[in-house]
């Protein structure tokens, strides 16, 4: 297999070590997923969001910053879904930058969920946009999700950026959606599944980005909606931080991800989006209080399920 040529390590603290420190300090493995939809915002923020992209972007930014204030004691980071900001054009991307800065100032790690992938100069541009230090400033985010199904050359520029700048990448391996079986569960000639081969590549790519806590800055996305796959993924990628979407609105529970934590308390992260940020739509409470209560509950339950 081709090794990723990431170049020399020049950054300070590696992403995986920052994750481990945050998990230990907060006794939490939770990321809040910031997926703002103007039509679902609290009535006090909705206002004229229908009138212009600028108004919608401003309301979404205020919503996300308010959520950060509410849940920061209970989570280690924010997983910001780029699609909802991109949908609002330039105003939306300005809002994304505002929310990222606000969450970082609150002490949270920032994961941009963009599932980026391409080859050559395009992949390098994605790396430059999100993962590289520029002109002495910090990278835009701490980590980015990527789609490795284009092959090694599509992720090599991202991993090289991680090595230079101390950032991280989470590669899609076994995703939480029901249609993932259409490709990821196909059988190879030796009986393994397609996603097993991708998992082995991810483990290989991350071998030289392992920090002092024994975890790699090249992580993997594995759906909590497939508990058996979670255990298989941990076996195939013992040093990877697993990102486990699916708890909450998609139906998975903390018990479904217990096997992900056998490599340590920081060896998996659980992003929770709708069940936290729209909790107010269920119980009718103040949206900040509802989000804080749900984040606190999930923090306790996931920590307990992890066994640490």
Report the half-sphere exposure of 239 (CA within 13 A, side-chain side). 21
Comparison of pLDDT for 169 and 251, the residue scoring more:
169
C-alpha of 23 from chain center: 15
pLDDT digits (tens, 9 = 90+) for 175-199: 999 899 999 999 999 999 999 999 9
pLDDT at 169 over 90: yes
Q: What is the token pair recorded at 185?
A: 């569960």
Return the CATH superfamily for domain 15-306: Aldolase class I (3.20.20.70)
Mean pLDDT value across the chain: 94
| Contact call for residues 41 and 63 (beta carbons, < 8 A) | yes
Question: What pLDDT is stored for residue 265 in this prediction?
Answer: 97
- Local confidence band at 7 (pLDDT 50, 70, 90 cut-offs): very low
Radius of gyration of the chain (CA): 18
The residues carrying an active-site annotation are 115
In sequence order, what E strands does the chain have?
30-34, 77-81, 109-116, 143-146, 168-174, 216-222, 240-243, 268-272
* Cβ-based burial of 186 (10 A; exposed 0-12, middle 13-18, buried ≥19): exposed
What predicted TM-score, i.e. pTM, was given to this entire model? Answer: 0.94
* Helical spans, DSSP H, in 132-221: 152-165, 181-184, 194-205
Mean pLDDT of all residues in 34-62: 95
pLDDT (mean) for 70-89: 98
Query: Could you read off the pLDDT of 24-35 as tens digits, one per residue?
Result: 999 999 999 999
Give the model's confidence band at 285: pLDDT under 50 very low, under 70 low, under 90 confident, else very high.
Answer: confident
pLDDT score at 8? 41
* Tens digits of residue pLDDT in 203-235: 999 999 999 999 999 999 999 999 999 999 999
């Amino acid at each position: 297999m081709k090794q990723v040529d990431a170049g020399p390590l020049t950054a300070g603290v590696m992403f995986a070590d920052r994750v481990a420190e945050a998990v230990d300090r907060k006794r939490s493995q939770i990321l809040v997923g910031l997926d703002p939809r103007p039509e679902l915002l609290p009535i006090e923020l909705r206002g004229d969001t229908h009138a212009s992209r600028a108004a919608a972007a401003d309301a979404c930014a205020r919503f996300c910053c308010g959520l950060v204030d509410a849940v920061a004691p209970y989570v280690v980071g924010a997983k910001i879904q780029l699609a909802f900001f991109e949908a609002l054009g330039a105003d939306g991307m300005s809002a994304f930058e505002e929310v990222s800065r606000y969450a970082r100032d609150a002490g949270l790690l920032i994961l941009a969920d963009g599932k980026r992938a391409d080859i050559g100069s395009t992949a390098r541009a994605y790396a430059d946009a999100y993962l590289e230090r520029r002109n002495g400033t910090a990278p835009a985010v701490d980590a980015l999700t990527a789609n490795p199904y284009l092959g090694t050359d599509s992720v090599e520029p991202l991993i090289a950026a991680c090595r230079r700048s101390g950032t991280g990448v989470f590669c899609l391996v076994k995703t939480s959606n029901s249609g993932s079986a259409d490709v990821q569960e196909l059988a190879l000639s030796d009986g393994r599944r397609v996603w097993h081969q991708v998992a082995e590549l991810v483990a290989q790519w991350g071998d030289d980005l392992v920090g002092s806590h024994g975890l790699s800055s090249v992580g993997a996305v594995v759906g909590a909606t497939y508990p058996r796959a979670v255990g298989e993924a941990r076996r195939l990628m013992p040093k990877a931080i697993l990102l486990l979407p699916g708890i909450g609105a998609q139906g998975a529970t903390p018990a479904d991800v217990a096997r992900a934590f056998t490599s340590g308390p920081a060896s998996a992260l659980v992003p929770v989006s709708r069940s936290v940020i729209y909790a107010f739509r269920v119980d009718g409470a103040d949206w900040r209080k509802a989000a804080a209560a749900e984040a606190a509950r999930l923090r306790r339950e996931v920590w307990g399920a992890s066994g640490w």
